[in-house]
Amino acid sequence: MKAFETKLPDGYVEVKTVDVKNKKIAIAFNLIAASTIIITIVTAWFSMFGTQPFAMCIDKLRSDNLWHDMLRLIFFAVVSVIYIVLHELTHGLVYKLFTKQKLSFGLTLTAAYCGVPDIYIYRTVALLSLLAPFCVFLPVFLIPIFFLPYYADKLIFSFLLGMHVGGCVGDLYDACLYLFKLRDPATLMRDTGPKQTFYRYVEETNVDKSV
């Protein structure tokens, strides 16, 4: 399986770009991410407490020891930051395994990213890299929710799960493009990190830029 091209081959046309530095896209992705976190937290809350009074729920979330509550919050903050780094490294690992090319990592105001800017990647490798963090971290945050004994921990992992799924919105959007619109395995993607550009092979005589 050929993983990538170093130059865009003849007969390819640009059909789509997804750029998180574009204001509209950044706002849309962040709104979806925030909604995902809220939906996850609300679902977890009602699954744990039903319609019990709010004050009673807060009591159940608190432990007897203030230090334990503080440690929980510190754990949550540390795991959130580590997760963002590991998410990008997971994209990078797949890119590196299949292409051995130089990666680029970075941050925008609203997103972290990893790309492989110097090459054009075929659909299969692009899909593997796009979906890798989603698949790896879904069980990491989901499974503890069912097994942790304390409500506070269940809620923290629900938040992390929402943050994870919401944070994958760009990756999942790109994956959906591949699944529903760019189904040709010859489709190429250039991923600079914040921006993915998709190229489709078209017959020289039938140049159609629509997707």
Question: Can you give the binding site for Zn ion, defined by CB under 5 A?
Answer: 171
Phi–psi pair at 144, nearest 5 degrees: -60, -25
On whether the CB atoms of residues 90 and 133 are closer than 8 A, the answer is yes
Nearer to Zn ion, 129 or 187 (CB): 129
Question: CB neighbours (10 Å) of residue 23?
Answer: 10
| Residue 126 beta carbon to Zn ion: minimum distance, rounded to whole angstroms | 12
Q: Identify the three-state secondary structure at position 184.
A: coil
Nearer to Zn ion, 44 or 121 (CB): 121
Nearer to Zn ion, 49 or 173 (CB): 173
| Residue 83 beta carbon to Zn ion: minimum distance, rounded to whole angstroms | 11
| Residue 133 beta carbon to Zn ion: minimum distance, rounded to whole angstroms | 5
Nearer to Zn ion, 171 or 191 (CB): 171
| Residue 62 beta carbon to Zn ion: minimum distance, rounded to whole angstroms | 34
Residue nearest to Zn ion (CB): 171
- DSSP state letter for 110: S
Task: Please enumerate, as own/partner, the contacts of 31-36 that have beta carbons within 8 Å and a separation of 24 or more.
Answer: 32/166, 32/169, 33/163, 33/166, 33/167, 33/169, 34/166, 35/166, 36/162, 36/165, 36/166, 36/169
Nearer to Zn ion, 172 or 202 (CB): 172
| Residue 49 beta carbon to Zn ion: minimum distance, rounded to whole angstroms | 32
